[in-house]
Chain A
């Protein structure tokens, strides 16, 4: 089945540690996105990529980094510079039409 997968479902981070969230899609979509959702809030854009080897900062990129080496994959690294990383992280992709489709999300918790 075509879709977007995110792993892990839950992730725990220790102080000062970098962690990487995986996002994979087999929809052959060019554009991919990362959003952050805090409790009781809407989603905020972290990074997006319109094409392989290119990506752009969103509204809250500080403390995060991404890569786009393959069309299918858009991993997000939460660095130690992100002081408040506890949140629900959602990955999405777009086929060049209007609609973004989302993966199931990863919940990141700080120990």
Chain B
């Protein structure tokens, strides 16, 4: 079974509109972290936002916010006031607590295209 599921392979959004990118996850570990990364066509992975499983508040970083619904195992990324430069691949990822600095498990990504 997939641990990270991103159900939207691609999205087209008008500039200045808000965007929600879906992510659901599967883990039995009570301690975990959820991440969103942006990958432009150049290939680099840019960290956007982090949510810990015990965090009470939803994470926010500038125009990015994470809609964390723990009971539903959902961690959707919301981008407010989208810009042309937001066009990229977006990946949701999870770190499970396996005792130390373990690697991330990634979803397959959503290709977001912002239209003028």
A interface residues with partner B (beta carbon < 8 Å): 30-31, 33, 35, 40-45, 48, 50, 58-59, 88, 90, 92, 94, 96, 98-105, 107
B35 and A31: CB pair below 8 A?
Answer: no
Return the 3 tightest CB-CB contacts between A and B, nearest first.
Answer: A42-B106, A31-B101, A45-B103
The answer to whether A48 touches B108 (Cβ under 8 A) is no
A58 to B107, CA, bound (A): 16
B20 → A minimal CB distance (Å): 19
Alpha-carbon separation in the docked complex, A102 to B4 (Å)? 20
Given contacts A33-B103, A42-B108, contact A98 B44 (CB under 8 A): no
Q: Which of A40, A96, A103, A107 contacts B101 (CB 8 A)?
A: A96
Instruction: Please encode chain B, from 41 to 53, with 1 for each CB lying within 8 Å of some chain A CB and 0 for all others.
Output: 0111111001010
Chain A residues near B52 (CB-CB < 8 A): 98
| Contacts A102-B44, A104-B44 given; does A48 touch B103 at CB 8 Å | yes
Decide if A48 touches B101 in the complex (CB within 8 Å).
yes
- Chain A, residue nearest B103 (CB): A45
- How far is B95's CA from A105's CA once the two chains are assembled, in angstroms? 21
Q: Give the residue name and chain of the B residue nearest to A48 (CB).
A: B103
Q: Which residue of B lies closest to A107 (CB)?
A: B43
Digit string of B86-116 for contact with A (CB within 8 Å is 1, else 0)?
0000010101000011111111110000000
User: Given that A98-B52, A100-B47 are contacting pairs, would A45 and B104 also be in contact in the complex, using a CB cutoff of 8 Å?
Assistant: yes
Contact partner, A43, options B50, B91, B95, B101, Cβ 8 Å: B91
| Further 8 A-B residue pairs, CB within 8 A, beyond A45-B103, A50-B100 | A31-B101, A35-B106, A42-B108, A48-B101, A48-B103, A58-B103, A98-B33, A102-B47
CA distance A105 to B42 in the complex (A): 9
CA distance A88 to B52 in the complex (A): 28
B4: contacting residue among A42, A48, A59, A104, CB under 8 A: A42
**Nearest chain B CB to A23's CB is how many angstroms away?**
14
CA distance A104 to B41 in the complex (A): 11
B91: chain A residues within 8 A (beta carbon)? 42-43
Residue in A58, A59, A90, A96 whose beta carbon sits within 8 Å of that of B45 in the complex: A90
User: Is B44 touching A105 in the complex (CB atoms < 8 A)?
Assistant: yes
